[in-house]
Amino acid sequence: MKKFIYLFFTLLMVCSQLVSAQSLYLKDNLQRAKPGDYIVITANKTNTLMHIYARQGQFLIIEEIAAPMSRKAGHMDWHNWVKNNAPGHNSWVMYEIDLNSGRMQRYYSFSKCGWFEIPEVDNFLSKLLNLRLDYIPEKERKKVGLKIFAESEEARLWQPNLVVEGQVIRGVKFDAWRTRWPKDGSDLSGKVIEMYLPQDNQFYPAYFPYWLQIQNAIGKSRVRIIDSGTNLWSPKPPMMSQMPTP
């Protein structure tokens, strides 16, 4: 009887490990974020720099600067751009994420000099952090080459570029994940989202997808990271310093 109980719990632990390996939540990934880390996202003709400004216990302070897409973006020195007050930007905000819940707690706009609340339906990041991502088996992933050869077992998996401090890192392997956006009445309602995260997360900010693609959307909308790095410094004061004095 004892052997049966031991075997049962052993199998239960193995199964739970397999399930956890086949799914993840981005809010759990953010536990690895370090102050100074940054990524630059391009989507909808806009470049957005997301900077891990600080960490205070279970709360992560994220700084976000948006600017119209530029041809020079691929060769930008993002450290100097931010240090020089991000010339050409059209939005500069800072917000607080609760790592336990994945919820955005507070939101301050330096551009508009005020505190704001983000309606739940418009809070893309909080929803994305709380969606369960399911692992996409390699046999279901996009392959490199002509379609006639892409069906073969030997075909190479398509991998997005990983760029760190303006340099493309060669040979990085990615895992692919899939989720479905909840039916919330938004433009993303019910749509399937695929994203790619690096397998090796020791040497660069790899806790956020380097490629995100929205299926069932016109033109298959894409979000990709065009640069990333560490040790970024911001000229902006801490978010709490913007709180009005009682």
Residue at token pair 């060669």: 170
In tens, the pLDDT along 171-213 reads: 889 999 999 988 887 778 888 999 999 987 677 777 888 998 8
In a domain, 235, yes or no: no
How many of the other CB atoms lie within 10 Å of CB of 230? 15
Look over the chain and give the mean of its residue pLDDT values, rounded to a whole number. 81
Residue bearing the bigger pLDDT, 108 or 2: 108
End-to-end Cα separation, the chain, in angstroms = 66
- With beta carbons less than 8 A apart as the criterion, state whether 195 and 213 touch: yes
Q: Residue 5 has what pLDDT?
A: 39
In a domain, 2, yes or no: no
99 phi/psi in degrees, rounded to 5:
-70, -25
Poorest-confidence range of 92-96, 126-130, 146-150?
146-150
Q: Residue 8 has what pLDDT?
A: 33
Return the percentage of the chain with pLDDT > 70, whole number: 78
In this prediction, residues 8-20 reach a mean pLDDT of 36
The total of structural domains in the chain comes to: 1
Distance from the Cα of residue 167 to its chain's centroid = 19
Q: Print the domain residue range for 79.
A: 25-230
In a domain, 89, yes or no: yes
- With beta carbons less than 8 A apart as the criterion, state whether 231 and 80 touch: no
Q: Residue 12 has what pLDDT?
A: 34
> What whole-number distance in Å separates Cα of residue 188 and Cα of residue 216?
9
In a domain, 3, yes or no: no
How many of the other CB atoms lie within 10 Å of CB of 51? 24
Q: Residue 84 has what pLDDT?
A: 95
In a domain, 9, yes or no: no
In tens, the pLDDT along 143-164 reads: 886 554 445 455 689 999 999 9
Q: Residue 122 has what pLDDT?
A: 60
In a domain, 57, yes or no: yes
Q: Residue 38 has what pLDDT?
A: 94
pLDDT at 114 exceeding the cut of 80: yes
- With beta carbons less than 8 A apart as the criterion, state whether 33 and 207 touch: yes
In a domain, 200, yes or no: yes
In this prediction, residues 100-125 reach a mean pLDDT of 83
Residue at token pair 């913007």: 242
Which residues make Cβ contacts (< 8 Å) with residue 1, sequence separation at least 6? none
Q: What is the DSSP string of 74-133?
A: GG--HHHHHHTT-TT-SEEEEEEEETTTTEEEEEEETTTTEE----GGG-HHHHHHHSPE
> H helices of 118-215, where?
124-130, 147-150
In a domain, 238, yes or no: no
How many of the other CB atoms lie within 10 Å of CB of 135? 14
Q: Which two tokens stand for residue 80?
A: 């100097």
Model confidence at 19, pLDDT cuts 50, 70, 90, reads very low
pLDDT at 7 exceeding the cut of 50: no
Element (H, E) at 227: strand 222-229
> What whole-number distance in Å separates Cα of residue 194 and Cα of residue 169?
22
Q: Residue 117 has what pLDDT?
A: 82
- 213 secondary structure, DSSP code: E
Q: Which two tokens stand for residue 50?
A: 């997301």
Q: Residue 6 has what pLDDT?
A: 42
In this prediction, residues 78-92 reach a mean pLDDT of 95
Residue bearing the bigger pLDDT, 127 or 14: 127
